[in-house]
Structure 1
Amino acid sequence: MRQISIQKKNDILARLRHNETVRQVAEATQVSRGVVGELRKTIAHELHRNVGGRGRAIDTNLGRRIIRGISTGEYKNAADASRKLAASDSESKKPSAETIRRHLRDSGCRSRKKPKVTPLNAKRRKARLDFALAHRGWTIEDWKHVIFSDETKINRFGSDGAQWTWTCADGILRDTNVQHTYKHGGGSLMVWGCFSWHGIGFMSKIDGRMDADLYCSILSDELLQTLEWYNLSKDDIIFQQDNDPKHTSNKAKKWFEDNAVNVMKWPAYSPDINPIENLWAIVKRKLNEYDEAPASMRELWERVEYVWEHSITPELCKKLIESMPKRMEKLYKAKGGHINY
Structure 2
Amino acid sequence: MAKRKQITLEQRSPICTLCEEGNSLTGCVAGKKPKLTIPHNKIDSNQWENVLWTDESKFQIFGFNRRVFVRRLKGENASEACTVLTMKHSGGNVTVWRCFGNNKPENLIRITVKLTKEGYFKIIQDSAIPSRLNLIGPDFTFQQDNDRKHSSTRKL
Identify the TM-score tier after normalising by the shorter chain. 0.5 to 0.7
CA gap of 1:216–1:159, structure 2 versus 1, over 3 A, is same
For residues 164 and 225 of structure 1, what CA distance do their matches in structure 2 show? 44
Which residue pairs with 2:93 in the alignment?
188
For residues 70 and 45 of structure 2, what CA distance do their matches in structure 1 show? 32
CA gap of 1:164–1:249, structure 2 versus 1, over 3 A, is farther
Q: Larger Cα Rg: Structure 1 or Structure 2?
A: 1
Q: Is the Cα–Cα contact under 8 Å of residues 203 and 222 in structure 1 kept in the other structure?
A: no
Moved over 6 A (4+): none
Query: 1:250 aligns to what SS in structure 2?
Result: coil
Q: Which has the higher strand share?
A: 2
For residues 135 and 56 of structure 2, what CA distance do their matches in structure 1 show? 21
- Does residue 163 in structure 1 map to residue 69 in structure 2? yes
For residues 229 and 196 of structure 1, what CA distance do their matches in structure 2 show? 9
CA gap of 1:164–1:138, structure 2 versus 1, over 3 A, is farther
Q: CA deviation at 1:144?
A: 1.1
Q: Which has the higher helix share?
A: 1
TM-score by length of 1: 0.31
Q: Is the Cα–Cα contact under 8 Å of residues 148 and 241 in structure 1 kept in the other structure?
A: yes
Which residue pairs with 2:44 in the alignment?
139
Matched-pair identity in %: 23
Q: Is the Cα–Cα contact under 8 Å of residues 202 and 225 in structure 1 kept in the other structure?
A: no
Structure 1 unaligned residues grouped into runs of 5+: 1-62, 68-77, 83-93, 101-113, 166-186, 256-341
Q: Is the Cα–Cα contact under 8 Å of residues 102 and 136 in structure 2 kept in the other structure?
A: no
1:194 is aligned with what amino acid? C
User: Which structure's relative contact order is higher, taking Cα pairs within 8 Å and 6+ residues apart?
Assistant: 2
Q: Is the Cα–Cα contact under 8 Å of residues 198 and 230 in structure 1 kept in the other structure?
A: no
CA gap of 1:159–1:225, structure 2 versus 1, over 3 A, is farther
TM-score by length of 2: 0.61
Q: Is the Cα–Cα contact under 8 Å of residues 55 and 144 in structure 2 kept in the other structure?
A: yes
Q: CA deviation at 1:230?
A: 3.5
